[in-house]
């Protein structure tokens, strides 16, 4: 299964309230290390995209009950991103995709953020 998402960075809500709604504290800490507000907003957009792409790869739509905090973006020491699933996302993974590895990649520019998730 594959999920992909792209968003215009200017459309993302960069408020602390929005970030607290979609992100774990570790994700917020990572984003807040950005050197400027422009880069911070790009990172929030990329975080949003990776969570959306994982939901799509898991075949979880709006009616599935999954929430953004069911998907946590983490980074290896090398910087490579990976996700940890919680709640309904973890339940769906265990029911339908157990044993498959979830690979994610994300990217952002001044105008766009994108992410892809692949279950292998």
Provide the pLDDT for residue 106: 97
**Contact yes or no for 90/67 (Cβ under 8 A):** no
What domains sit in the chain, N to C, each tagged with a CATH number? 2-119 (3.90.470.20)
* Residue in 34, 52, 51 with CA at minimum distance from that of residue 43: 34
pLDDT tens for the chain, 120 residues: list them: 999 999 999 999 999 999 999 999 999 999 999 899 999 999 999 999 999 999 999 999 878 989 999 999 999 999 999 999 999 999 999 999 999 999 999 999 999 999 999 999
DSSP string, 47-103: HHHHHHHHHHHTT--GGG---GGGEEEEE-TTS-EEEEE-HHHHHHIIIIITTPPEE
Residue 103: how many CB atoms within 10 A of its CB?
A: 16
């Amino acid at each position: 299964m594959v999920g992909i998402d792209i968003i215009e960075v200017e459309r993302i809500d960069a408020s602390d309230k929005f970030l607290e709604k979609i992100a774990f504290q570790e994700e917020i800490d990572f984003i807040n290390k950005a050197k400027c507000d422009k880069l911070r907003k790009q990172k929030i957009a990329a975080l949003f995209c990776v969570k959306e792409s994982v939901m799509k790869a898991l075949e979880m739509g709006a009616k599935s009950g999954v929430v953004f905090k069911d998907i946590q973006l983490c980074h290896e020491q090398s910087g490579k991103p990976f996700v940890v699933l919680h709640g309904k996302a973890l339940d769906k993974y265990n029911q339908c995709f157990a044993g498959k590895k979830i690979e994610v990649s994300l990217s952002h520019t001044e105008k766009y953020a994108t992410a892809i998730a692949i279950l292998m």
